[in-house]
Structure 1
Amino acid sequence: MRGTSARLLALLSLLQARRDWPGSALAERLEVSDRTVRRDVDRLRELGYPIATTKGPDGGYRLEAGSNLPPLLFDDEQAIALAIALRIATTAGAGIEEAAGRALTTVRQVMPSRLRHRIDTLHVTAVERGTRHRVDSELLMTLSSAVHARAELRFDYTGSAASRRAQPHHLITWGGRWYLIAWDLDREDWRTFRADRITPRTPTGPRFSPRALPGGDVSAFVRNHFQGSETWPCLGDVILDLPAATVSRYTYEGVVEELPDGRCKLTLGSWSWRSLAAEIGKYDADVEVVGPSELRTACAQLAERYAAAAGGAPS
């Protein structure tokens, strides 16, 4: 039979795995008596875990969100920091995406509602990998909440004498830094603000209707802003039959955008169209050329060239 500590951890894991557990089912899974389950539930409650008793023929238990985080987990600041790290890890391309997603679900389940709501508003677009610069997690939550709520921001910006007013649209990472993409209300133009230079003022302003980003989407906007449209003489877009997390491991100068169907859109540049087509081939995946037509032609030319090298006609 398991020791008490190991049994408590096993019980907690089962309670986190699904919403409701009959007491008899827990006893069977843990290979103990119903009385032992009741005692172990009481021990977890003493440790701060909000476990409710459910009614029914068998009776049962449910792990709920409490007014405070259980003491064996994390305090508020640690919970927010962990959630931000796990959110980023789900698209980091480090091979831990699925585990990070499960961990985020587990942490969120026992959070009090005030923290759970804040975590749900955190949506980050990871555009490029790189060495990350430290940004206060509370600041990231404030900016992300404003983006989610479509609420105007008032803030001080390092290097600017006057306070700024802007409509925040996206919170992104690029080159290891955090940036806020926003419509500057005073300058009536799009601006990209470094998050570590922002000091928000309270309260936030009125709600606004989002504008269309130049270039059509956040990836195109970021690429043009940071790299410039003339970085490469040949620039193309393709859809790869691979998840964004996988492609991002091998992409350092392009922009990878996750698609809802599990594929990704890749924007990449090169010194010639045929070299760009060859570069795309390294991902070893089915490719759909979005454009331009020069890239589509280059792919056909390479197909003929490789078929000839292999001694046969292209299939």
Structure 2
Amino acid sequence: MYHPTTRVLAILEMLQSRPGISGAAIAEQLEVDRRTVRRYITMLEDLGIPIESTRGPYGGYRLRPGYKLPPLMFSDNEALAITLSLILAQRQGMSVEPAATAGALAKFERVLPEALRERLQAVRDVVTFAPAPAAAFYPSSSTLMGLSLAITRGERVLLRYQSGAAETERRVGPYRLGFPRGRWALAAGGQRPPAKRAFRHIRTSRRVGSAEIFAH
């Protein structure tokens, strides 16, 4: 059912996702006997991958803690899902920084096997998406992550945003970040939680000290 090389790579993926997996579980997954599993484990060790094993009824295999794993391996379905997600973010204006999304997609495609890369390129060429809004705004990565962290922790932020033709600042308590109708928007309260509104065209944000935290 599987090529030996495919089985060896599958074992490596199991060791990454299920540390301590037993030889019996690996054998069942790959449809081989336990002696074959041990042979594949030896092949990985010969490649310089440090694998620790424990004996007994609760024993199993795991990668040595702290070992830097080789590049990630993706199935065809996983590669397609990642490619479509990046393309959708790019073409719908959801990218926080368009250059970052384009760079991530280029790096991802470079590590794919040539045959898979060719198939994914065909998908990119023929699949169409509705165009992004003409005035789509891209917050920076630091702004998006900072606001998300503030919402998670219940912290207030000092927000700079566009109000008409003017740019203004306001201290707010954010509680939701969304992408309605193709534009990033932040739902936040004012000095008191009941005073709530939505902010768009966010420029920068700065988290305020813990003394400003309130429960929403």
Q: TM-score, normalising length from structure 2?
A: 0.52
Q: Specify the alignment match of 1:183 in structure 2.
A: 189
Q: Specify the alignment match of 2:26 in structure 1.
A: 26
Q: Specify the alignment match of 1:39 in structure 2.
A: 42
Structure 1 residue 191: Cα displacement: 2.2
Per-residue CA deviation, residues 168-225 of structure 1 (Å, 9 max, x unaligned), is 1111221111211001239x8322112x523122555532110xxxxxxxxxxxxxxx
2:187 and 2:132 map into 1 onto residues whose CA distance is 20
Structure 1 residue 26: Cα displacement: 1.9
User: Contact conserved, 1:23 with 1:37, CA < 8 A, in 2?
Assistant: no
Q: Does residue 1:199 correspond to 2:204, yes or no?
A: yes
Q: Specify the alignment match of 1:141 in structure 2.
A: 145
Q: Does residue 1:156 correspond to 2:155, yes or no?
A: no
Q: Specify the alignment match of 1:170 in structure 2.
A: 176
Structure 1 residue 43: Cα displacement: 6.8
Structure 1 residue 10: Cα displacement: 1.9
Give runs of aligned pairs for residues 199-218 of structure 1, distance below 5 A. Answer: 199-202=204-207, 204-205=209-210, 206-210=212-216
Go from structure 1 to structure 2 and tell me whether the alpha carbon gap of 1:29 and 1:175 turns closer, same or farther (over 3 Å shift). Answer: closer
Go from structure 1 to structure 2 and tell me whether the alpha carbon gap of 1:154 and 1:63 turns closer, same or farther (over 3 Å shift). Answer: farther
User: Contact conserved, 1:26 with 1:37, CA < 8 A, in 2?
Assistant: no
User: Contact conserved, 1:151 with 1:167, CA < 8 A, in 2?
Assistant: yes
Unaligned runs of 5+ residues in structure 1 are: 75-81, 90-128, 211-315
User: Contact conserved, 2:159 with 2:171, CA < 8 A, in 1?
Assistant: yes
Give runs of aligned pairs for residues 69-108 of structure 1, distance below 5 A. Answer: 70-72=70-72
User: Contact conserved, 1:173 with 1:179, CA < 8 A, in 2?
Assistant: yes
User: Contact conserved, 2:52 with 2:64, CA < 8 A, in 1?
Assistant: no
User: Contact conserved, 1:154 with 1:204, CA < 8 A, in 2?
Assistant: no
1:184 and 1:43 map into 2 onto residues whose CA distance is 61
Structure 1 residue 144: Cα displacement: 1.4
Structure 1 residue 8: Cα displacement: 3.0
Unaligned runs of 5+ residues in structure 2 are: 75-81, 90-129
Structure 1 residue 24: Cα displacement: 4.1
Go from structure 1 to structure 2 and tell me whether the alpha carbon gap of 1:180 and 1:21 turns closer, same or farther (over 3 Å shift). Answer: same
Structure 1 residue 136: Cα displacement: 3.9
2:213 and 2:47 map into 1 onto residues whose CA distance is 43
Q: Percent identity?
A: 32
Structure 1 residue 149: Cα displacement: 0.6
Structure ranking higher on relative contact order (CA contacts 8 Å, 6+ apart): 2
Describe the SS at the equivalent of 1:57.
Answer: coil
2:197 and 2:47 map into 1 onto residues whose CA distance is 50
User: Contact conserved, 1:130 with 1:175, CA < 8 A, in 2?
Assistant: no
Aligned length: 156
Give runs of aligned pairs for residues 221-240 of structure 1, distance below 5 A. Answer: none
User: Contact conserved, 2:154 with 2:173, CA < 8 A, in 1?
Assistant: yes
Describe the SS at the equivalent of 1:166.
Answer: strand
Q: Higher helix proportion, which one?
A: 2
Q: Does residue 1:6 correspond to 2:6, yes or no?
A: yes
User: Contact conserved, 2:45 with 2:51, CA < 8 A, in 1?
Assistant: no
Describe the SS at the equivalent of 1:175.
Answer: helix
Q: Specify the alignment match of 1:53 in structure 2.
A: 52
1:202 and 1:145 map into 2 onto residues whose CA distance is 9
